[in-house]
């Protein structure tokens, strides 16, 4: 008789947890996954997927306007927010059913409820105790809110995806990618958007040219970015909300959205009690094989605060399954992981920023700014920016960055080149596809002059 009920119990059925569970089952393990919300996790249900659908929906406003430059005479266009939300929710229902089927066909037991670790080999779900040789924590993250008066009036990205109606005036607090993406969505759909940030610019941690280019294009499109500003309180008055800032100024909005960060989902699930070490943010401390300080407990995805991207969580889940049940200890390589921000215009980036690269040694920088071919006829005042960062000593390309239409699609291909260690000479030797925006990455020859 088996010593434990399962070989693996996964707490959290997001992208990483599902991948780890089904791949472990495929390697012969007896697996159960515990989930207290919808299967699919943040990305599928509350993040990447629904958000990008809203980005796509919002972009039609510009598409209709741009069509005139190409000889089209569009009719009167109208927008129905509720219809978009219904269509988005229908797609999420479809995706969730796909996840259920994947788990079913993989012979992974689904257990609905909140999983709490009772000891290094026991998970309690709504009073029922289940045992496992291994426990995997894949509970992701959750929006965090500051403790200020009136914060209960604010929504997060979770609620913003399901608003009953589109407000006319929206204040978005935060300068990260989630705030930037929602600012673009709401602005394109006709709301008056003010993005409130503590810093001097949006997107801290991104390349400076990317930050500048994105902010400039957002402001040209009508988003007001209120810089170096701290919200002290929020009050509800006459059906609207009044925000008071540190310097005493106030502003009114019909909706206040906070996107000031996410925290690992580690509270009240028994981790510390079981001896699992957490860092100062509450993230699970793990080694390169995703093992926590308790040998039988592992963690992957956003709950570890390593690199909070869905494809990374999936890679960690795959690696964990191989490590635990494939007799092939596998660690994820976090170098040159490409990422995107679905702002308007979008961002694609892979490798090091100029600032990061310069800390390692001398670099050569190549930058191109241009009007996309489409807008030579539309007349729209929008610029694309492309940038290559090169190690001057080795000629190796350290980073590629783009702000402009199709940036994520273009950067995905360049991520392969960087993973292979491509040099600038190899970029230069590559013949471009004409006419495309992507060819700029293989035709940039003029180095950006060094400051000073």
Measured CA to CA, the distance from residue 15 to residue 40 in angstroms comes to 6
- The residues near 363 (Cβ < 8 Å, ≥ 6 apart) are 354, 357, 389, 390, 391, 392, 398
Alpha helices in 391-434 (DSSP H): 407-419, 424-429
Tokens, residue 343: 């702002």
Q: Look at residues 439, 334, 447 and name the one whose alpha carbon lies nearest to residue 395.
A: 447
Q: Is 100 a catalytic residue?
A: no
| Residues 6 or more apart in contact with residue 359 via CB below 8 angstroms | none
Given 153, 216, 224, 434, which residue is catalytic? Answer: 434
Interatomic CA distance for residues 321 and 289, integer angstroms: 10
Close Cβ partners of 253 (under 8 Å, ≥ 6 residues apart): 167, 169, 170, 171, 194, 240, 241, 243
Report yes or no: 103 and 110 within 8 Å, Cβ to Cβ. yes
Give CA–CA dist 213/191, Å, rounded: 22
Q: Which of 40, 14, 55, 23 is nearest to 347 (CA)?
A: 55
Closest CA to 4 of 270, 234, 296, 268: 296
- At 267, list the tokens: 């509270």
- Burial string for 215-243 (b: 16+ CB within 10 Å, else e) reads bebbeebebebbeebebeebeeeeeebbb
Say how far apart CA 243 and CA 250 lie, in whole Å: 5
Query: Which residues lie closer than 8 Å to 153 by C-beta, 6 or more apart?
Result: 234, 235, 236, 241, 256
62 with 345: CB under 8 angstroms? no
Handedness of CA 84, 378, 208, 425 (dihedral sign): positive
**Helix or strand (DSSP H, E) at 179:** helix 177-188
Q: Which residues are tagged catalytic?
A: 434
């Amino acid at each position: 008789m088996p010593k434990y009920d399962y070989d693996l119990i996964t707490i959290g059925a997001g992208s990483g947890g599902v991948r780890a569970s089904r791949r472990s089952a495929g390697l012969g393990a007896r697996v159960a996954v515990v989930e207290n919300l919808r299967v699919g996790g943040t990305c599928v249900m509350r993040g990447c997927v629904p958000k990008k659908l809203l980005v796509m929906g919002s972009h039609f406003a510009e598409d209709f306007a741009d069509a005139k430059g190409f000889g089209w005479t569009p009719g009167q266009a109208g927008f129905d927010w509720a219809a978009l939300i219904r269509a988005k929710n229908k797609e999420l229902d479809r995706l969730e059913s796909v996840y259920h089927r994947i788990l079913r066909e993989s012979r992974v037991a689904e257990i609905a409820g909140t999983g709490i670790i009772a000891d290094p080999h026991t998970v309690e779900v709504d009073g029922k105790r289940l045992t496992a040789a291994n426990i995997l924590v894949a509970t992701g993250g959750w929006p965090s809110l500051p403790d200020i008066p009136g914060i209960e009036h604010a929504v997060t990205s979770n609620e913003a995806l399901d608003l009953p109606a589109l407000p006319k005036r929206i204040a978005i607090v935060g300068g990260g990618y989630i705030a930037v993406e929602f600012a673009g969505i709401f602005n394109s759909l006709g709301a008056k958007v003010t993005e409130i940030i503590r810093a001097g610019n949006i997107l801290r941690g991104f390349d400076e040219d990317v930050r500048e280019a994105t902010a400039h294009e957002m402001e040209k499109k009508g988003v007001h970015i209120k810089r170096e500003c701290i919200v002290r309180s929020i009050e509800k008055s006459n059906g609207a909300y009044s925000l008071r800032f540190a310097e005493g100024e106030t502003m009114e909005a019909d909706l206040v959205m906070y996107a000031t960060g996410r925290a690992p989902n580690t509270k009240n699930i028994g981790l510390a009690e079981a001896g699992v070490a957490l860092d100062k943010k509450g993230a699970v401390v793990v080694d390169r094989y995703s093992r926590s300080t308790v040998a039988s407990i592992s963690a992957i995805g956003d709950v570890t605060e390593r690199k909070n991207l869905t494809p990374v969580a999936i890679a960690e889940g795959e690696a964990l399954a191989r490590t635990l049940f494939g007799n092939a200890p596998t660690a994820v390589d976090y170098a040159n992981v490409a990422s995107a921000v679905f702002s308007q215009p979008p961002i694609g980036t892979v490798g090091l920023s100029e600032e990061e690269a310069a800390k390692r040694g001398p670099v050569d920088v190549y930058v191109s700014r241009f009007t996309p071919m489409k807008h030579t006829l539309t007349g729209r005042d929008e610029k694309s920016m492309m940038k290559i960062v090169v190690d001057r000593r080795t000629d190796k390309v350290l980073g590629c960055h783009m702000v402009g239409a199709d940036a994520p699609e273009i950067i995905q291909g360049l991520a392969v080149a960087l993973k292979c260690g491509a040099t600038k000479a190899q970029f230069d030797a590559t013949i471009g596809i004409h006419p495309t925006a992507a060819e700029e990455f293989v035709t940039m020859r003029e180095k950006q002059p060094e400051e000073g």
